[in-house]
A and B are shown apart, each in its own frame.
Chain A
Amino acid sequence: MEKVAEKVSADTPATAKTVLEVEGLKTYFFVRQGVVKAVDDISFSLKAGEKLAIVGESGCGKSMTALSILRLVPDPPGRIVAGSIKLDGKDLLKLSDAEMRKIRGNQISMIFQEPMTSLNPVWSIGNQISEAVMLHQNVSRHEAFDKAVEMLKLVKIPEPSRRAREYPHQLSGGMRQRAMTAMALACNPHVLLADEPTTALDVTIQAQILDLILELQERLGTAVVLITHDLGVVAETAKRVIVMYGGKIVEEAAVEDLFENPLHPYTQGLLAAVPHLAALSTQAGEAASRNRLKEIPGIVPALVNLPKGCVFAPRCPHASDVCRNEYPPYEMKQPGHGVACWHAGKLAGGAHA
């Protein structure tokens, strides 16, 4: 563990090497109604020890991106139809199933959204964590169990050796998510995919779990992809953000940059929809009822047989003919700040309107 920590502090994220590189990833679902383009031509990269957030509404393809990286897309009906996913330069999509199993839980692991249902109810917590260890390390059952207890201690579960023998139903939601985290980190993965790890938890526990994940991430030097719909979580945790809409990346930027200068109308809408405590309190006295929280009109489109043009166009206040006819190219507007919008240049700074 010490060695890993040294390695990370030695090279800062800016100069660190790329661990994960996703290029042109397309994950489609072939259903009776047509083809659902859940993930449609996505490219991004992740450096060692980096904290990347992927935001978007439900159904925008962010969870499917994570599942695609682990090659866990339910097949049928889903299939990765194009692209490459390179882990340390090795394309995961070209690996055999057996080789892929050695990657899962070992070099890339995942924390799921639902701690209540994501743990196997008939095996003890310790058993489930030590299974992850035994799958990837050549250790005895006994050593693996000791490692499981150590991991439970690391995620700050009190009385870890007693808890290790307990079953999921004996643990609270927060405890279970800690156990999931322990399981995901048991083999010191290079990449941790956290798919809305705090969504199912109550608010006081949410912060604890996030802090825990970030603390361990820094300690172990793991790169994190945090999938969330909560911009508050993004601001607190990530360094870089990818905004997804309709299975595509619509904007990517450093966190401060994105919050200060969102270029895509969808990002602007998302930011405008965040309730501001200051704004609410000043107006609370006179006209709170008139000051409705801003929203993005319309709903997320069903991703079956999408029309040509920008997916966001039907909901976009700035949509023009070109938007409705042709999908905008993804362009770097500023260093490290990319966006896919025909009107991105004109709209800069629009979030604060």
Chain B
Amino acid sequence: MGAYLVRRTVLFFVTVLGVSILIFGLMRIVPGNIADILFESSGFIDQVQKAKIEAELGLDKPLLQQYLSWIGGLAKGDFGFSYMSERPATAEILARLPVTLKLGGLTLFFTVLFGIPLGVWSAVKQNGFVDNTLRVVTLSALSLPSFWCGLLVLMFAVHVFGTIPIYSNEPRGVWQELALLSIPALVVGFRSSALIVRLTRSSMLEVMRQDYIRTARAKGASESSINYHHALKNAILPIITLLGIEASHLLGGLVVIETVFNIPGLGRYLVEAIRWRDYPIVQNLVLFSAFAVVITNFIVDMLYAVIDPRIKYSD
């Protein structure tokens, strides 16, 4: 186990390093920097001011030096300043983190809450009315883009209630905030729970053919115990894998939904930062998200070992 953890840690640093190079390079390939945008598209500043700004932000230095100064700063715990607000990047990101975490957590919660039981139900009633209905619903969910569903929900709200629930920075109490976040979380979770339903169904069908399920029946176990105690624990590994992947992809989904629902979270902030070529914000946010993905993968792998006694990490 010790050697395994060391290997995972090394891999972690390699991954993060790779992502840092990638995002740094990508951002420089995108034409223009913040000074170009201020100079060209808006005409706010002249050539001299542009050169001055570039020098101030260090954008006139060689790329390698820019990269090293970013990484060097990170090593010292210095994440740099936002070009847009001139406030520390850490402060800008941390200010928007809670709402995105809540939204993401809520989305995953709904994904599991609906995905797994409906998937089990679908498998138990294979080819029955419930299964066929769920098949139609889930396939629709998978083919409808979440921004479109989001807009639909908004239009529906306006049509029926004459108003739309708008997220405010100071919600009145936990419950109101929960209610406000639930709607976008449900919209994003609709698609991912549809995925989970499909996977749970096929994974459960595979397991329910096994001999040990018959053994459980022969013991006198009830149907719910057979489905959840005996079958689901065997069927859950691929579901956890997919949940891990979905969690990693969550930021992508939240970018769209935060924009649609006008929620001041990290997803919308990232888009804005890219538009203004706010390098420190984009780079640090993407790196942070890579970090989250690696941690998620690690948690998934650890869960494997917890759930399936046959899986052991050694060497």
Contacts and interface: CB of A to CB of B under 8 A. Distances in A.
Contacts of A117: 210-212
A139 interface: no
A132 B218 CA distance: 9
Contacts of B230: 120, 123
Contact of B218 (A72, A121, A122, A169): A72
A132 B219 contact: yes
B221 A131 contact: yes
Interface in A57-112: 70, 72, 101-106, 109-110, 112
A70 B233 contact: no
A230 interface: no
B217 A72 contact: yes
A103 B310 contact: no
B234 A105 contact: no
Nearest to A129: B219
A122 B308 contact: yes
A72 B212 CA distance: 13
A286 B165 CA distance: 98
Nearest to A132: B219
A183 interface: yes
Contacts of B310: 121, 167, 169
A71 to B, nearest CB: 9
A41 B309 CA distance: 45
A101 B222 CA distance: 7
A119 interface: yes
Contacts of B216: 120
A325 interface: no
Nearest to B216: A120
A105 B216 CA distance: 9
Tier of interface size on chain A = 20 to 34
A136 B234 CA distance: 24
B234 A101 contact: no
A122 B235 CA distance: 10
B212 A136 contact: no
A172 interface: no
Contact of B211 (A109, A114, A124): A114
Contacts of B308: 121-122
Contact of B234 (A104, A120, A132): A120
A183 B218 CA distance: 10
Contacts of A135: 219-221
A167 B217 contact: no
Nearest to B209: A74
A342 B150 CA distance: 77
A131 B219 contact: yes
Nearest to A180: B215
A291 interface: no
B214 A136 contact: no
Interface in B262-315: 307-310
Interface in B182-241: 210-212, 214-222, 230, 233-234
A112 B216 CA distance: 11
A122 B307 contact: yes
Nearest to A106: B220
Nearest to B210: A117
Contacts of B221: 101, 105, 131, 135
B220 A132 contact: yes
A45 interface: no
A123 B214 CA distance: 15
A118 B212 contact: yes
Nearest to A119: B212
A180 B233 CA distance: 20
A102 B214 contact: no
26 contacts: A101-B221, A102-B220, A104-B218, A104-B219, A105-B218, A110-B218, A112-B218, A118-B212, A119-B215, A120-B212, A120-B216, A120-B234, A121-B310, A122-B307, A122-B308, A123-B233, A131-B221, A135-B219, A135-B220, A135-B221, A136-B220, A167-B310, A169-B309, A180-B215, A183-B215, A183-B219
